[in-house]
């Protein structure tokens, strides 16, 4: 599976963005998917994931503001980000995740998409 994230940009605090992740391969519908982010000088972290059945989980820092969804027919996963804060500034990536541990499954992360939130 190859993954390509897009939709990032510059937005003011309080604004919204919608990220999209396009996946290749025929097994997309069988995979749990996650959105990760990496801020400058920090480790990559999982912010949201969605199971193949559609159940979702979020990091506490984004709960109530971000919504992850998927469209299996299009092999896409989305991240709707509302009420953005400067601390949400990061490069955002998507990856498949292990169903039990939510560890990323693929070593190749792609370029990600940069989200910059100005105060």
Q: Residue 29's pLDDT is what? A: 87
| Distances in whole angstroms, Cα of residue 48 to Cα of each of 54, 59, 103 | 12, 6, 12
Q: How many CB atoms lie within 10 A of CB 66?
A: 21
Residues 50-58: contacts with CB under 8 Å, at least 24 apart: 50/77, 51/99, 52/99, 57/102
Residue 55's Cα: distance from chain center in Å? Answer: 15
- Average pLDDT, rounded, for the chain: 95
Task: Tell whether the model's pLDDT for residue 106 goes beyond 80.
Answer: yes
Query: Kind of pairing, strands 90-97 and 45-50?
Result: unpaired
Q: Residue 1's pLDDT is what? A: 75
């Amino acid at each position: 599976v190859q993954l390509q994230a897009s939709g990032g940009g510059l937005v003011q605090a309080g604004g919204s963005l919608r990220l999209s992740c396009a996946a290749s391969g025929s097994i997309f519908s069988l995979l749990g998917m996650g959105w990760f982010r990496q801020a400058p000088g920090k480790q990559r972290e999982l912010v949201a994931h969605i199971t193949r059945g559609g159940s979702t989980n979020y990091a506490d820092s984004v709960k109530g503001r971000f919504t992850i969804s998927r469209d299996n027919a299009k092999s896409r996963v989305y991240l709707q980000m509302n009420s953005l804060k400067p601390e949400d500034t990061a490069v955002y990536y998507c990856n498949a995740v292990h169903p039990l541990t939510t560890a990323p499954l693929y070593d190749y992360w792609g370029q990600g998409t940069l989200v910059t939130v100005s105060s």
